[in-house]
Amino acid sequence: MSYPGKMLADGLCTPAVIEIPARQLLGTVCVCGGADCPLFESRQDALAILERVKADPTVSIRLTTDADQIPHYSSLDERDYTTLDREGVLNRKRDLAVLQHLGLTPGDTRRARYLYELLLQRIETPDGICAFDTPNWEGCPLARGGAYEAARAKGSREIVFDRTAEDKAEARRLSVERVRRDPVLKIRPHHLMCMSCWIGASGGEGVRGNDTLDEVYKRICRDPEVKIMLVEGNCEACHCCDGFHPDSARCVHACGLIRDYMKDLDVMQKLGVMPGTTMNARKLLMLIYERVTSTTDICGFGTGEANANEWIVCGGPDGNAGYLKARETVRF
């Protein structure tokens, strides 16, 4: 353990707080849209899930199905088929359809925010999942009532935790003050690459909305000798981000932006340094520009290929042109 006694439970690798059949993930959105979804024993069950994910963005959800519990045909007889639970069969199909759309498998666990963003992105309607025109497969009469679509139109932030504009503005004010006065800036390594992409594209002009890397850049311009300590995880530029959860100090963007944790480590490996390494800004940036020639090396994981939704490539498969420009022109 790298930081004994100080490691935090992120929710990504800890047991799921909520365990539900995959179909109920879709059902909670219908309930959010006003429907009395029959996939739950009671409406209150769905509301309890919605209340939890709205209040706590670190909550994880494990998606299940009983599809893998189907008995072998040799153990069944005619009576088993005559007493078949038809709704149970349709529910299995619903579970598997939701999982297929999400690109997941039974038992997969993801942070709630990630699952709801992915669900609303990939499933436009429950029609064709919860209901059909086929006799004996009619399914839910509410599937075509528009409740899911109405909730989807409002976006995932109506469902999951979302910081208020006032909260983010105050966090930015405090972050700006910190960046301007701290004798040593604590910055995650790949954020210096993000800053460089922005500098190359904008010339370093304007205000960044979701972090204070613009203020970090101004501080470095004023004092290229200012010390920067490289840290893992959230840094002092993160606090005004909509994905920063003040109560836990964790990044709660989709799946916790786990790919960014790897970017930090990849940059440090390229530089041959460890977390806690401190050097002046000019020397550090020149070292990054020397050792990291393209964002593909870090943000495209060396190949520029995304092998899963959680590992999407930032800056495009061929690298970010803004980074290349900054690398060629920025000298402080």
The region of weakest confidence among 151-165, 183-197, 252-266 is 252-266
- Give the DSSP per-residue string, 167-214: HHHHHHHHHHHHHHH-SEEEE-HHHHHHHHHHHHHHTT-S--SS--HH
Q: What pLDDT was estimated at residue 255?
A: 64
Mean local confidence (pLDDT), 200-210: 94
- Give the DSSP per-residue string, 5-28: TT----SSSSPPSEEEEHHHHHHH
Query: How high is the mean pLDDT of the chain?
Result: 94
Q: What is the pLDDT of residues 96-115, one digit of tens each?
A: 999 999 999 999 999 999 99
Mean local confidence (pLDDT), 193-201: 97
Q: What is the pLDDT of residues 216-247, one digit of tens each?
A: 999 999 999 999 999 998 999 999 999 999 98
Q: What is the pLDDT of residues 248-283, one digit of tens each?
A: 888 888 766 789 999 999 999 999 999 999 999 999
Q: What pLDDT was estimated at residue 11?
A: 67
